Chain A
Amino acid sequence: MNNWTKIFIGLAAILYVFHNDWWFWNDPRLVLGLPVGLCYHLLFCFAAATLLLLFVRFERRSRSDSDTT
């Protein structure tokens, strides 16, 4: 397991903690037309996509570096 994989696992673990949004549990407010809890989890999906994009890019760069050395 290389360093990028370890960093990736660490960041994914942090994001995982934020999945448990107890603070919006009983909050019925509407934000952007959606219940706030649903809106939060919709944004969570995009945050996950961003994390994966960053990892894929950095891992590709580190892989091509190690291939050339």
Chain B
Amino acid sequence: MTLAILLFYLLLVLIIGSFSHRLFKGTGEDYFLATRTIGPFVLLMSLFGTHMTAFSLLGASGEAYHSGVGVFSLMASSSALVTPFVIYLLGPRLWELGKRHGYVTQIQYFRDRWNSDAVGILLFVALVGLLLPYLLIGVKGGGVTLAGISSGQIPEWAGGLLVCSVVLVYVTYGGLRGTAWANTFQTLVFMSLGVVAFILIVRSLGGFSQTMERVVEQRPDLLVRGERIQPLFQLSYTLIPLSAGMFPHLFMHWLSARSRKAFRIPVVFYPICIAVVWLPSVLMGVFGSLEFPGLEGPEANSIMVRMISAHAPEILTGLLGAGVLAAVMSSLDSQVLSVGTMFTQDIVKHFGFHDRMSERGQIWLGRLFVVLILIAVYLLSLVSDHSIFRLGIWSFTGFAALFPVVVAAVFWRRSTKYGAMASILAVALCWSYFFFNYEGQNQTIGDTGLLPVALILAVSILAMILGSLITRAPDQEHLLKFFPEEERNKKKEEGLPK
């Protein structure tokens, strides 16, 4: 029964994603950006669904199993402020520039902003490299979920393969519109089923108050942050959500918006959506420590699935498992599409065909890259044994450290391509150092509680400022293209229409 429901859910996602193909206009802009027609509700659902992944459901409950309720303050409430703040500060401005100059990827914008192919290549390598662990989270999360829900009938390798196959079909067929529609459906599914799962599980445990009393008696350490989460650790952790400013998959969704106004509803509801998803996830991890004690390290990532299997009626187990799969796939699809788009637009089209590639050629090449990326990520997932939470943190650390690049591009006229290159290289070097020396440990610098992201971000800011100030100022005429207000004022002074 459970398996049948899961398979039916996957089929439903396929149908929704593929149905969007009926609106397909056959152009590159339509495949990659849905011809910039996405309204506020679908934008909220697709941004949120893309941002929330196996990391927030499986990873958060797994981490709460070990560290307690403090996980909510680490990632959820900090994201509730920082992420929509970043989206509203950058999204509408970049959307306006994207529409005006026809950008499809963020690399096109940065390359044009600083008039430099070298910036484009460096960013491409950095962004794709950082997206790989993020993609792995999705594939591994899908495998863990299906294996757990089916009690091992579907092994992890087969679960990952199934998730990849479904995503592959609707992304290659439906492009960004298919992805946005499937995301909207899946976000609604995982939000509502997450709440339903939580209520059912708590009821089965004997009620919320009673379960909380059991936690007070048996695991009071999980109700406070205590020694597990140091203040400096939480403070530096709040820098992680800055990563939203540099995620290629979020950027792609920003460009797909119908208008500037379309950003308003998503940013206001973003913090509430975060609370709705993270609160049950974190509490499920804490309650799970009473029911399934003794899980070690990454084993705890399966705690939510174990709780669902143990406490929900069989018919609902499949539905609730589908909710977890929804969170996994709604991120994987946008990430895969964004990497495919970057390969097509920023490498093959820009360097190989010098912007002369036909619309049809672009679409087919985009599809081909989606296939290749999914195969590569799937194979990598078979040999990677990292914790979902830790993989996520490393990926987010790199994207957050690149945040000064987008801020300088959007707000700092004096920034130069050398500043941008210095910043990207500094991030690459520092990130590699910390990744290879700190992975597997507690990930803080000298056990102070300070996460590497704080140091890498500081170096990145310094490199951007110094690199820009010691090199020649950018051409003022070129800058007018990227600072519309200045351009409007200039036209006003010249007496031209706006």
Q: Which residues of A contact B (CB under 8 A)?
A: 1, 5, 9, 12, 15-16, 19-22, 25-28, 30, 33-35, 37-38, 41-42, 44-46, 48-49, 51-53, 55-56, 60
Contacts and interface: CB of A to CB of B under 8 A. Distances in A.
A55 B85 CA distance: 10
A26 B238 contact: no
B234 A49 contact: no
Nearest to A63: B260
Interface residues of B, number: 40
Nearest to A26: B224
B72 A5 contact: no
Interface of B: 69-70, 72-73, 76-78, 80-82, 84-85, 88-89, 208-209, 212, 216, 220, 223-226, 231, 234-235, 238, 261, 264, 267-272, 274-275, 279, 282, 411
9 contacts: A19-B78, A20-B234, A20-B235, A25-B226, A34-B212, A37-B73, A44-B80, A49-B270, A52-B84
B185 to A, nearest CB: 24
A55 B76 contact: no
A38 B272 contact: no
Contact of B272 (A20, A41, A46, A60): A46
A35 to B, nearest CB: 4
A53 B234 CA distance: 26
A52 B73 CA distance: 19
A51 B312 CA distance: 38
Contacts of A51: 81
A42 B81 CA distance: 12
Contact of B73 (A12, A21, A33, A34): A21
A56 B216 contact: no
Nearest to B278: A45
Contact of B81 (A19, A53, A56): A19
A20 B261 CA distance: 32
B215 to A, nearest CB: 9
B331 to A, nearest CB: 21
B84 A22 contact: no
Contacts of A27: 224
A38 B60 CA distance: 14
A48 B224 contact: no
A30 B212 contact: yes
B88 A45 contact: no
A41 B226 contact: no
B314 to A, nearest CB: 29
B80 A33 contact: no
B93 to A, nearest CB: 10
5 nearest interchain CB pairs?
A41-B77, A45-B275, A45-B80, A48-B81, A35-B223
B408 to A, nearest CB: 13
A12 B231 contact: no
A19 B77 contact: yes
Contacts of B80: 44-45, 48-49
Contacts of B223: 28, 35, 37
